[in-house]
Structure 1
Amino acid sequence: MKLNQDGLCEDCEIIKRIKAKPAPTSKDINVLQMTRAKIHGNDLVEATCVGYHCAECSKYINRVYSQSGRDSRFPKLPEYVKEHSDHCKITLYPFTYGVSIMTNIYTMKRLTDKQVIEYSNRPYTDSRPQKWKDGYRRLEAKANNKAYCQEEYQAICQKLPDIAPKSQAGYTRMKKADSDSFKKIAEAAHQAGIIIHSFENEE
């Protein structure tokens, strides 16, 4: 156990600092999980993500990694997972080979110990089924629509206060329905130099 200059367990202090945060990020939680694994003498961690995720994150999830890189059965934990886990909420869990259970998140089938090794060493490509790709596209569409509507509504309120809807929610509903009232506002917005983005399909 490594001690700091005050004679305290460094890993224990890391856990204490993260637990004290009012709103720890996914990256914080993963540091916590990796540290807990090390304290218990476990070098392996499983990377998973239960929600819809992007093509890049899909390359790294549903694998078991060796934190140190010394376990030749598994790939070394990539920097991408450590640095970008907040993007799609990649989560790490301590993993004990032969004891822990790993499930393929796309098929929900339990993997044998041999399959865990094979699946963890598969090529780093986007392996999402179409259903998962469509799900992530819908999430992106909703996020984009929300951001664009907020930006547009604020600009309309500032430059065209006389025709601005009473609320952003009202503006969003008008835009989604592509109502005649929205078309009039959009035309005036274009003339005022306000960019109006297309409403993306959320279905």
Structure 2
Amino acid sequence: MTSTSRRRVIAVAALLAAAPALAACGAGDNANTNMPYAPTEAQVHVKDGAYGEKGMRVSQAFVLGPDSGGQLPAGGAAPLYLILTNQNQAPDSLVGVTALPDQATSVKVASPIQVPPNTLVNTGQPTPQLTVEGLKNALRGGETLTLTLKFQSAGDVTLDVPVITRSREFATLPAVPGALPAPSPTAAASPTAATGH
């Protein structure tokens, strides 16, 4: 191989090695990977194909989990937070919520939640009105529960709802009863304890 050929091979290899880094630079600060995950955009989690025709907008949906590093034990309960807007002309109400049988036994609705036309309804204020009960698996945050919202007029809307840890912007929400704290780090054995001195 001549020195010119060798230089070309090295130049091509260097260019190929630099291509991913150059592509990442081109994405800038607005790259998808730089954006925080927003559980407040629940409409992207809607599974029901007729969602747009029903006129019920779910602009926030999440299940509040434990504090970071903790867990909600199987059999426990967790609050469900929703923000709803009825885009229909007539009033409606959320009369029930169901969960997949392998995820939870039921979802308790304190009472039918009225959703007047063109009004933002926050089911978490002043206190959560919806509770996912009888969790089939322990939750740590990051999981997804499939829930079906049952409206009196709009019918059923099925969502994939994320489980969010009680941290950062969610740290001010009331703690979930029964949540287990993060395990404390085990102290490493000291040299004196190991040698018996």
> Do the two structures share a fold, i.e. TM-score over 0.5?
no
In proportion to residue count, which structure has more strand? Answer: 2
TM-score, normalised via structure 2 length: 0.28
TM-score after normalising by structure 1:
0.27
RCO comparison, higher one (Cα < 8 Å, 6+): 2
